[in-house]
Structure 1
Amino acid sequence: MKKKIMLPFLLTLLSLIFSYPLLAAEPTVADVVKSIDTIWVLLAAFLVFIMHAGFAMVETGFTRAKNAVNIIMKNLLTVAIGVVTFYLVGFALMFGQDVAGFLGVTGFALQGVNEEAFTVPLEGFWFFQAVFAATAATIVSGAVAERTKFIAYCLFTVVITSVTYPIVGHWIWGGGWLFQRGFIDLAGSTVVHSVGGWSALVGAYLVGARLNKFTPDGKINVIPGHNFPLGALGVFLLWFGWFGFNPGSTLSGMSSDIAHIATTTLLAGAAGTIGALFYTWLAYGKPDASLTLNGALAGLVAITAGAQVVTAAGSLAIGALAGIVLVISVSFVEKVMRIDDPVGAISVHGVCGSFGTLCVGLFAQETGLLYGGGAAQLITQTIGVFSVAAWSMVLSSLVFMLLKATVGIRVTVEEELEGLDLGEHGLEAYENYSLNPKSIAATSLASK
C-alpha cells in the first residue's frame, strides 16, 4: 500500500524539479555575477564585523581588570552608534553626489540613491561600508582607555562615524579629490586606520595620561594589562577578520586579485610579527610579547593600502619594516611625546597606516619608485597622508575640546582609582575582584 502511495508522489516531485527551468526565467550571466559578488561582499563584511570582537579583546586584555566592563561597553556602542550614524548621514557624505571633490550630498538614510551605480545591491554595499566605519571609531577607544568618560566617548563616536571618516572616505573612495589624483588605498591604511590613529593621538593627549603613568621626576611606570591571553586572542581574531577587510575590498567575488590580496595580507602580518620580535629582542635583550602581537597588527595595517598592487616579496618588506616602525613609534609616543596609549593604537594605526600608504609609492608594481615608476605616486601618497592626518587631528581637537567644555572628558580621580566599571556602569567584570594593593599605593601617591 505504501509503495502505491509513494510512487505517484515521487513522480510528481520529479516532474516539478525537471519542469522548474521551464516555469522560471533563466538567469542571465549578469545575474549570476551579481549574485556571486553579493555573497562575497557580505561574507567579507561578516569577517570585518568579527574584527570588533578582536578590538574588544585586545583592549580588554591589555588594560586592567577594573575597567573591563567599560571597555566592552565602549566597543559594543561603537558598533551600534557607528552603523546608525553611517546609515543616517555618513554614507551620503561618503558616496553621495560629489561637491567640489570634498563630500557627497545625496543618499541620506539611503534615500534617493541610484542603485544601478553599484555592482551589488545597495544594502549589501552599505553593510560592508558600515562595518568599516565602526572600525575607524573603535581605534580611538584603546588609546583613551581607563580614564575617559563613557558619555564623552559615545558622543565622539557619533562625530567620527558620521563626519570625520566619511568625508575622508569620499576623498579617496567616493570620487573625491584624492581619488582624482590617483591616490591608492585599497582597504583603508589611511581611510580607516590613520583616521582612527590620528584621532586617537588627539584624544589621548587631551584626556591626559592615566594616574601614575608619568611621574614628576620623568619616570615612566609600566601599567600591565590583566589578561595577556585575552589580548592575544583579540590579535588572532583581527588577523582572521583582515581576510575580509582586504580581499573583500575588491567588492567582487569574480576578481582575480582576491587570492593575491589574501597572500600579501598574510605575509605582511607574519613579517610584521617577525620584525617586531627581532627588533625588541635586539633592543631590549628579550623578545617583547605585547609589542610582537602589535607587530602583527602593524604589518596588517601597513599592507592594507597596497595589498593589490605590491608583490608578495614587497608585502614581506612592508610588513617587516612596519613591525620595526611600530616598536620605534611606541617608544617615541611614550618617552618623547609623553602620551599614554595603553594598547599602542596611535602607533599601530596612525603611524603604521601612514607608513603603509607611503610604501605604495615605493613598492607598487606599475607606479612605485622602486619599480621605475618615478616619484609621482609617492608624492600623491604623501599629499594624501598629510591631508588626512591634518583633517582628522583638527576635527578631533575641536570635538574633544567641545566635549571637555560641556560634558567633560575625564572621570574623577576616585572613579579612576576604583575603576570605570563601578564608577561608570555599577558593575564589575569579575566576581570578588579587588584592586592590587601596590597599584592603589602607587596611584594614590601620584594623585597627592
Structure 2
Amino acid sequence: MAVSWEESVTYSINTIYLLFSAYLVFLMQLGFAMLCAGSVRAKNAMNIMLTNVVDAVVGSISYYLFGFAFAFGAGSNSNPFIGTEFFGLKDIPSSSYDYSFFLYQWAFAIAVAGITSGSIAERTQFSAYLIFSFFLTGFVYPIVVHWIWSSSGWLSPSSSPLLFGSGAIDFAGSGVVHLVGGIAGLWGSLIEGPRVGRFDAFGKPVAMRGHNATLVVLGTFLLWFGWFGFNPGSFDKILVSYPKSSDQGNWTGVGRTAVTTTLAGSTAGIVTLFGRRLLVGHWDALDVCNGVLGGFVAITSGCSVVEPWAAIICGFVGAWVLIGLNILCLKLRFDDPLEATQLHGGCGAWGVIFTGLFAKEEFVIQVYNSGDSGISRPYGLLLGGGWGLLGAQVVEVLVILGWVSITMGPMFYMLHKLHLLRIPVEEEVAGLDISRHGGYAYNALQQEETGRRFYAEYVQNAS
C-alpha cells in the first residue's frame, strides 16, 4: 500500500532515532567491559573482558533464533521457532516488523547477560558463561519482556484488559532488564559461593578491590552516555502527534526523560559519596560510580512518567538501598565482585515500586494513550492515583523474582553438580587469565610470572 510523503518522512525519522538509540545502548557494552575490567583484580582482567564479548556474540544468536519471537510473538497457531526473515518474526505484529526494532531490543537483551556476568566474576568457568548467556537471552529474559512490553502481555500497560485497570509501567526496564539480571546473578553467586579469601576464618570480609579505578570511572561515564539511549530511546516512535494539540507528541517526553535520568543518577552519586564517607571515613570514587549507576537503574522504570523533583527522591532512596544491601551482603557473607545483585536487583526493584508511588497521570496518558483527552488511568499512589498502579508494580516485582528464580536457579545448580560452574581453587588463586586464557591482560604481569617460573626452575636445577 502506498504511503504519503509525510508518512514516509515520519517513518524515516522514527527509524533513525531508534537506530541511534540502539547504538547508544550497545555502547553500554563497552561501558560494562571497562567497569568490570577495572573492578576485578588484574589477574582476571582478560577473563572478564572476554565474557563481555561473549555476552554480545552469544546473545546475538540466541536472541535472533528464539528470544525475539518469545518476547514479541503474537501468533497462537504457529511455531515461534520457525518464521520468515527472523525466526518467529512472522508472528510479530506488523507495527514491530522492523529490523531497527529488533536491533534495539537485542541491545537490551545482551545487557541483561552482562549484569549477571559481573555477579559471578573471578571464579567461574568460561563454558558456564556460554551456557547461561544463551539461556538467559534466548528464553528467560524474553518471557519477562513479553509479559510487560508486548502489547499482548498480561502485565503490559498497553494490553487489554489492563491488570488492576493499569498494567505495570516499566518504561525502560528497571524490572524487565535490571531486576532480571540481578536475580540471575544472585543465584549464580549463592550457588558458587564467595571467592577464595573474600572472608577470613572468622567470617569477616577481606577487601578485594579492583585493580584500576581509571577503567571504572571510564566505564561509568560510558554507561551514563549510553543510558540516554536506554531511557529516552525507549520512545521508539518520537513523531507521534497528540490529538487536539499542536505542540505535544512523544518527542516532548524525550527531553524530560533525559532530565529525570540525569537527576536520579546524580542525586544517588552525591548521597553515596557522603554516605560512604560517614561509614568508611574517606571519599571513594568507586563507591560514587556505583551510586550513580544505582540511581540510573532505579529511575529507568518511571523516567518518562515522573516529574524531575520525583527523580531526585528516586535517586536519594536508591543510594541508601544500595548502601544498605551492600552492608547486609557482607554480614551474610555474600560475594558479588561488582555489587551487581545489590545494584541492579535492589535498585531495580525500588525503581519499579517508585513508579507506582510517583507516576503523574498526565505523563502516563501521554506515554501510553498518546495524550488522548477524556481518559483516566491509575497513577502514583502518593499523588492521589489510587492503588491500581502500585499493585501492578508489586506484582511485576514478585513475578520476576519467581520466574528468574525457578529458571536460573536450577540451571546454575545443574552446572554446579556437573562441575561446569566454578574453577578449581588452585586456578582461582593463580588467576583465570593465566590458568584459562593463556596469559595476563598486562605485559608487566606476564613478565613477572615468567620471571617467577624462571627462578623456580633455576632453584630446582641448582638443587
Instruction: Tell me, yes or no, if structure 1 residue 204 matches structure 2 residue 189.
Output: yes
Deviation at 1:106, TM superposition (A): 7.3
Instruction: Tell me, yes or no, if structure 1 residue 283 matches structure 2 residue 295.
Output: no
One-letter amino acid of the counterpart of residue 132, structure 2? F
What is the DSSP-based 3-state SS (H/G/I as helix, E as strand, rest coil) of the residue aligned with 2:257? helix
In the other structure, the counterpart of 1:32 is 9
Instruction: Tell me, yes or no, if structure 1 residue 93 matches structure 2 residue 70.
Output: yes
What is the DSSP-based 3-state SS (H/G/I as helix, E as strand, rest coil) of the residue aligned with 1:178? coil
Deviation at 1:285, TM superposition (A): 2.8
Report if the CA contact (8 A) 1:152-1:407 is conserved.
no
In the other structure, the counterpart of 2:416 is 404
2:112 paired residue among 116, 136, 149: 136
What is the DSSP-based 3-state SS (H/G/I as helix, E as strand, rest coil) of the residue aligned with 2:186? helix
Matches within 5 A, 1:33-432: 33-97=10-74, 109-113=86-90, 117-118=94-95, 122-174=98-150, 175-179=152-156, 180-181=162-163, 182-254=167-239, 255=250, 256-335=252-331, 337-366=332-361, 367-432=379-444
Distance in structure 1 (CA, Å) of the matches to 2:76 and 2:186: 30
Question: CA 1:435 to 1:231, structure 2 compared with 1: closer, same or farther past 3 Å?
Answer: farther
Question: CA 1:112 to 1:269, structure 2 compared with 1: closer, same or farther past 3 Å?
Answer: closer
**Deviations 1:307-347 (Å, cap 9, x if unpaired)?**
01100000111012111211111111222x31101111011
Deviation at 1:402, TM superposition (A): 1.5
What is the DSSP-based 3-state SS (H/G/I as helix, E as strand, rest coil) of the residue aligned with 1:215? coil
Distance in structure 1 (CA, Å) of the matches to 2:50 and 2:203: 34
Distance in structure 2 (CA, Å) of the matches to 1:105 and 1:374: 41
Distance in structure 2 (CA, Å) of the matches to 1:191 and 1:93: 14
Distance in structure 1 (CA, Å) of the matches to 2:8 and 2:386: 42
Deviation at 1:405, TM superposition (A): 2.3
Distance in structure 1 (CA, Å) of the matches to 2:396 and 2:81: 22
**Deviations 1:203-259 (Å, cap 9, x if unpaired)?**
011111110111231211000111011111101100100000001101023222111
Report if the CA contact (8 A) 1:272-1:322 is conserved.
yes
One-letter amino acid of the counterpart of residue 192, structure 1? V
Deviation at 1:425, TM superposition (A): 1.1
Distance in structure 2 (CA, Å) of the matches to 1:162 and 1:407: 23
For structure 1, the residue ranges without an aligned partner over 5 or more in a row are: 1-24, 438-448
In the other structure, the counterpart of 1:14 is none
Q: Once the two structures are aligned, what percentage of the paired residues are identical? A: 41
Deviation at 1:111, TM superposition (A): 4.5
One-letter amino acid of the counterpart of residue 413, structure 1? V
Bigger Rg, which one: 1
Q: TM-score, normalised by structure 1?
A: 0.87
For structure 2, the residue ranges without an aligned partner over 5 or more in a row are: 157-161, 240-249, 362-378, 450-463
RMSD: 2.2
Report if the CA contact (8 A) 2:69-2:89 is conserved.
no
Q: TM-score, normalised by structure 2?
A: 0.85
Question: CA 1:145 to 1:57, structure 2 compared with 1: closer, same or farther past 3 Å?
Answer: same
Question: CA 1:344 to 1:404, structure 2 compared with 1: closer, same or farther past 3 Å?
Answer: same
For these two proteins, the number of residue pairs brought into alignment is 410
Question: CA 1:250 to 1:217, structure 2 compared with 1: closer, same or farther past 3 Å?
Answer: same
Deviation at 1:290, TM superposition (A): 1.8
Report if the CA contact (8 A) 2:80-2:87 is conserved.
no
Deviation at 1:26, TM superposition (A): 9.4
One-letter amino acid of the counterpart of residue 380, structure 1? A
